[in-house]
Structure 1
Amino acid sequence: MTAFPQERFDHIIFVHDNSDWSNHSGFEKFIWIRANGQMKFWFIKRFIPMHILKSYRYIWLFDDDAALTFDPLHYECVVSKLNISLSAPGRLNGIIAHPSTRVNANYTTKIGRWVDFVEIGPVVMGSSLAWQCIWDILVVTVSTGFGLDLIWCNLLSETCIPREWNKKACAILDAFIVNHQAAHHSPSHIGEAELHVYNKYVKDFQTKHQIFGALAENLEILYSCNMTK
């Protein structure tokens, strides 16, 4: 509630188990949707449909085990100035499945890096246009979403952004940090069992965990956004 103030953000909390949130300080203020056993994309496809997506500039997906160390409005300002379609803050503390998501010291003074891989969690933020672009490939029959993040950056860069942007669809912002508070990953066999739903996209769009360059030459944009957010 501190990071995402109600006067600037709309909140939808998806609850996939029997946990009781009635004593949460945001219980009367947020939209709460419960569906036992369902996960990210089942909720998103049903409750953030296309006509709602078009009403927003950005949509954040935020897992309950993520801890931000920055102001999301500051982050949005930087992303807007750099025209980033899909992004995530750099990961510092906590478990990390993909080393490329870890904060890269070579790019912290350049805001971050253009990449072809942004992990699906614990935090990802996309523009409305980016979510509209990948909308049709979101599969609701899987739970973890594993596999989508292996192809969505290249799909965005090849099909939804101007060619002259030269692969610049996704970014990791190393100047912004998120800590992952989970004690462990979901078992790998669960994710791997779901990978087949994206098989038809793998040949053309699979990530190579590449870096395409720095987001900026210095932190000027970062500082200017901090003054105006």
Structure 2
Amino acid sequence: MSNLYNRDSILEFVGGNSGFKMKQLPFMGVICSVTLYIVYRTTNYQYYETQMETKLHPFDSVEDNELPSGKLKDLPRGIMHTRSDLELRPQWRKSLRSAVKVNTNKNLLAMPVGIKQKEHVDDVVKKFRTENFTIVLFHYDGKVDGWWDLDWCDKAIHIVAHNQTKWWFAKRFLHPDIVSTYDYIFLWDEDLGVEHFNPGRYLEIVKSEGLEISQPALDPNSTEIHHRITIRSRMKKFHRRVYELRVGADFNPPYYLCRFVEGMAPVFSRAAWHCAWHLIQNDLVHGWGMDMKLGYCAQGDRTKNVGVIDREYIVHKGIQTLGGTGELTKKTKKKRGTSSGSSGLDPRAEVIHDS
């Protein structure tokens, strides 16, 4: 009797356990289905993202993605990226399509800025924002909080380093691999008036004339003009050279712009900037003198690929702020007034040797 009881109990226990397992099967099926769906969506997303990258960067060749270091040869080839950009990315994505949506900005404006020139910088940035430029501001005075009341401020990239110059920032934060997605790089000073300047029309002229390195012409009424070749010609769309009168010369040879592009408002094509970045010494300070060498990066004939755009021009206000005081500015202005009427020497020559 006891044996029968034990046998029945065992059968009842086994049967109950089997029933429990049968009840788990539908639940496990749901879990497996959800897992498979997640894997499918993830794989599909990765494929879709790869397709989008291919369409957005059709000129990226296999050779271009080769890694120079043997230390990285074991990385999976499908996830290697040798380039980056300066586009802001959202932390949270609403949908699959928004996840792969890439900013359409194709050009870059980078400027060293101080809070004292906030109004001037605001005018410049507003012009470029309407043309879908990526904006990078180099804050040399460390005062970033004073900019947040501007409606475009949170759309810009802010980099801070006290008392550093434009070329210092450019050498460290505008590496060619970082800015390779941009067709043109505008590396401008902060003391420029843009009332008569339109970035879109400017680039139309640059592209139509095949200019690799350029700058907008300077209004003749600008406070500070160092070289006659940068002065605007009212009768031309652009110019590559000027004819300079020389005392005692039997003829007036042309002064080619390929020998000079002023450092206050240069514009580089992608290829030209790749060259110019390597031209910038790591310890370069003000950059005076280097602008005489930028023609070497013109990607071809320097007499044709470098020019000044007259139709879209700017005003150079000559406001000195970085590393200076009001007293220094007054002295400099006084020296300019004296030298311009006598020797004609550029007063900046006294600090060229520091660069």
User: Shorter-chain-normalised TM-score: which range?
Assistant: 0.7 to 0.9
Q: Structure 1: which amino acid aligns with 2:287?
A: G
Q: Structure 2: which amino acid aligns with 1:193?
A: H
Matched, 1:37 2:163: yes
What is the identity percentage for the equivalent residue pairs of Structure 1 and Structure 2? 27
Which residues of structure 1 form unaligned runs of 5+?
A: 196-229
Distance of 2:149 and 2:178 partners within structure 1: 29
Q: Please name the residue that 1:95 is paired with.
A: 224
Matched, 1:18 2:142: yes
Cα 1:175–1:6 change in 2 (3 A) is closer
Matched, 1:104 2:233: yes
> For the Cα contact (< 8 Å) 2:191–2:319, is it kept in 1?
no
> For the Cα contact (< 8 Å) 1:13–1:32, is it kept in 2?
yes
Q: Please name the residue that 1:210 is paired with.
A: none
TM-score, normalized by length of structure 1? 0.73
> For the Cα contact (< 8 Å) 1:145–1:191, is it kept in 2?
no
> 1:78 aligned to 205, 210, 224, which one?
205
Cα 1:67–1:166 change in 2 (3 A) is closer
Greater helix percent: which structure? 2
1:200-211 → structure 2 map (5 Å cutoff): none
Report the more deviating stretch, 35-44 or 135-144: 135-144
Matched, 1:62 2:188: yes
Kindly state the Cα deviation for residue 140 of structure 1 after the two structures are TM-superposed: 3.1
> For the Cα contact (< 8 Å) 2:211–2:307, is it kept in 1?
yes
Which residues of structure 2 form unaligned runs of 5+?
A: 1-124, 242-256, 321-328, 333-346
Return the index of the structure with the highest Cα Rg: 2
SS at match of 1:32: strand
CA RMSD of superposed structures (Å): 2.2
> For the Cα contact (< 8 Å) 1:53–1:131, is it kept in 2?
no
1:166-205 → structure 2 map (5 Å cutoff): 167-183=303-319, 188=348, 191-195=351-355
Cα 1:51–1:183 change in 2 (3 A) is closer
Kindly state the Cα deviation for residue 60 of structure 1 after the two structures are TM-superposed: 0.4
TM-score, normalized by length of structure 2? 0.48
Cα 1:17–1:190 change in 2 (3 A) is farther
> 2:262 aligned to 105, 119, 142, which one?
119
Cα 1:73–1:44 change in 2 (3 A) is same
Matched, 1:9 2:145: no
> For the Cα contact (< 8 Å) 2:217–2:312, is it kept in 1?
yes
SS at match of 1:56: coil
Distance of 1:102 and 1:84 partners within structure 2: 18
> For the Cα contact (< 8 Å) 2:131–2:200, is it kept in 1?
no
Greater strand percent: which structure? 1
Distance of 2:189 and 2:237 partners within structure 1: 27
Matched, 1:148 2:308: no
